[in-house]
Structure 1
């Protein structure tokens, strides 16, 4: 929300400024950090209320969910390697570091400077060590190019980190494209994301709260083709395999949620993007399981040696 609403201006209230967009109002260099700061303080207030008044009697847990895109260096050189981590820090550590360490990452202080809001000692106390879990929404990965020591565009959502991000290298996508722009199939990004979070945040319990594959439709895709969604089946199988690799390295992952159970209204894309395991007829509301739903059901019911589809997908384990 901080980036899409106050940096790129793609979501309401549509605030942005050059080079990130051309909006009637906005300041992309300052407003995203003010918005994020208030989001974090609001989060801390909600957590405090829940832990004080509800957690004991409900036996529940409270955490935070963040979108986490993994970044690979565009070139195998030190500045791009640093840029890839910087892009991740400006996406994820921006929010998690204050909740674990009481302040924003050092790299953000160095680049943003006085434009980065500050926390009072009391606010730091309220923020820190209050999470029972970290929720990870992970779909894809991309490349990062350094713009601190190299001349390049900074008009992407990682521009304030002095990083240019792209899904292609020399015209070749980082992975197979999906229905959503700039969302590619890169299974190893799941493992790398989870391991990074495990190592930086003391292996706090994690949930994969969103992971899924979209197919774009303009009304010309037949029902048969929508139900035969082998690409989505392959996507979930490969990303779950990557997740298993992270778990075997000690990552404390407590759950996995496929996005999504059924086709739904996808933000500003409306009904043109289909993420669902079930097809929904918008006129009759009839729900029909796709191939991916049948595979996922078999996967969940196990044992793993029997999880195999008619198209000879390799079993998950």
Structure 2
């Protein structure tokens, strides 16, 4: 059991207002293409790895030709891959209802929107052979609708192809350039990768995310990450050399990290906590800032961790980032363990335990719907301070944050909309962000990766049973009032 952290120095008032933040601080919402768009085979879109993952049993992939890997036939869904057997074929139908959803963003008072551009809508064959003009038109419509509502936006381009042998510039550079060329006159913040950790570990080590690989867990996730880092640097290089001067935008990447709190004052626990953060943040940020992976990873992984050539190191350092996105939801208590019994090789290599209870049995925080998500507001403050100090005070966007509710089919819509717990979550996390400045979050309920439609993160409730109608939750209305900065609300209880 862990020695309970002294929280006295981290005590933060739950009262937080728009005036608690600088006037330049931007509040926004985020979505991801596969989770909300639907229209999986409309507008000449090609199949992506999540279409394949949720549709096909096994790993068979039928190409139309040697040069174009199009999906020619589907089999029934293997329901074991997604908790409720669902998929993103329709999702919440943003493909047809994007105007309604953008209206909601404007009505709630948000001025930023992070959405993703589906690679397979831009290049249906995945190889950059021919740009799909219908896909370009769809995202142009979204961008123009956002500008009409005075919503600024940053765009994650997506993840690079998931074959660990793909060279950094072969495909991702073509995809990135197509986005810069078609949207960069209006888009001023670009995110190359979103949560590359999840692609590497859950997609290529544990296998619970697309493409569902776990055949070579000691090698493949690190190869995938290696090429993701180089793909990011390639996209940055293309933007800076060909588009930045004329378009005047910025480019970065988004990484996810749970805070790692040392189990005790013992040096081995402190070192283990630092190692845990290295295996999350340092894995992707150290190469771009220092030119190589963290020493702790090299020590634990040896030759399984790829090496960069001197030319690649210089290339990465020249093309790191203009800003950094942080996705943060939760925290863990970390203890050093020499013989780790974790099921995943990724966690075994770290030689640590991730605990959720203090030594007296008290949980680190209340648990949300997902078993991995504990509500720990002070963790976001510590994460932001760590990133700022280690990586020379970069411009930071918190590109994801939030908590989920269980999709309780027996509860009334009224009960589901009255999400007081989510209001409290955002208030406490925002208060800690304000404190971090002194020393968000998802728009819609959606298809939630391997959890399917069983978890709800959205500020806006989507009624899956009745035409996918949208209903703003109490948390959405709280944000609306918060963003108006109504000083008359100060001191009043929510």
TM-score, normalised via structure 2 length: 0.57
Q: Measure how far apart 1:308 and its partner are.
A: 6.8
1-side partners of 2:284 and 2:371: how far apart?
25
1:211 aligns with 2:401: yes
Quick check: 1:155–1:164 contact (8 Å CA) kept in 2? no
Which structure 2 residue ranges, 5 or more long, are not aligned?
1-198
CA shift, 1:83, in A, is 0.8
1:261 and 2:439 aligned: no
Query: What pairs up with 1:104-253 in 2 under 5 angstroms?
Result: 104-129=293-318, 130-148=320-338, 151-155=339-343, 157-169=346-358, 171-249=361-439
Q: Does 1:101 align with 2:283?
A: no
Which range moves more in the overlay, 132-141 or 268-277? 268-277
Please name the residue that 2:470 is paired with: 287
Mapped to 2, the partners of 1:197 and 1:304 lie a distance apart of: 32
Query: How many angstroms apart in 2 are the aligned matches of 1:57 and 1:307?
Result: 44
Matches within 5 A, 1:20-35: 26-35=215-224
Deviations for 1:216-273, whole angstroms, at most 9, x for unmatched residues?
A: 1141222111111011000000000000111001xxxxxxxx2211211111212211
Q: Are the counterparts in 1 of residues 209 and 449 from structure 2 also a CA contact under 8 Å?
A: no
Cα deviation 1:29-78 (Å, max 9, x = unaligned): 21111110011111111111111112222211100101111011234422
Deviation, structure 1 residue 303: 4.2
1:48 and 2:237 aligned: yes
**Worse-superposed segment, 271-280 or 132-141:** 271-280
Q: 1:235 to 1:221 in 2, by over 3 A?
A: same
Name the residue aligned to 1:20.
none
CA contact (8 A) 1:298 1:307 kept: no
Pairwise CA distance, 1:307: 5.5
Q: Aligned residue for 2:201?
A: 3
Counterparts of 2:247 and 2:388, CA distance in 1: 27
Q: Which of 294-303 and 161-170 deviates more? A: 161-170
Distance 1:179 1:88 in 2: 24
- Deviation of 1:13 (Å): 2.7
Q: Give the conservation status (yes or no) of the 8 Å contact 1:90–1:158.
A: no
Q: Note the alpha carbon deviations across 1:78-132, whole angstroms, 9 max, x for none.
A: 2112111110111111100000111001111111112111111111111115300
| Residue in structure 1 matched with residue 195 of structure 2 by the alignment | none
Structure 1 gaps, min length 5? 17-25, 250-257
* TM superposition score normalised by structure 1: 0.87
Distance 1:2 1:307 in 2: 45
Q: Choose between structure 1 and 2 for higher RCO, CA contacts under 8 A separated by at least 6 residues.
A: 2
Could you list the structure 1 runs, at least 4 aligned residues long, displaced by more than 4 angstroms after superposition.
none
Deviations 1:151-185 (A, max 9, x none): 44233553322222232345432100001112100
CA RMSD of aligned residues (A): 1.7
Structure ID, larger Rg: 2
Tell me the SS of whatever aligns to 2:240. helix
Secondary structure at 1:118 match in 2: coil
The SS at the match of 2:250 is coil
Determine helix, strand or coil for the equivalent of 2:372: coil
For the pair 1:301 / 2:481, whether they are aligned, the reply is: no
Task: After superposing the two structures, state which structure 1 stretch, 30-39 or 233-242, moved more.
Answer: 30-39
SS of equivalent residue, structure 1 residue 64: strand
| Conservation of the 8 A alpha-carbon contact between 1:167 and 1:173 | yes
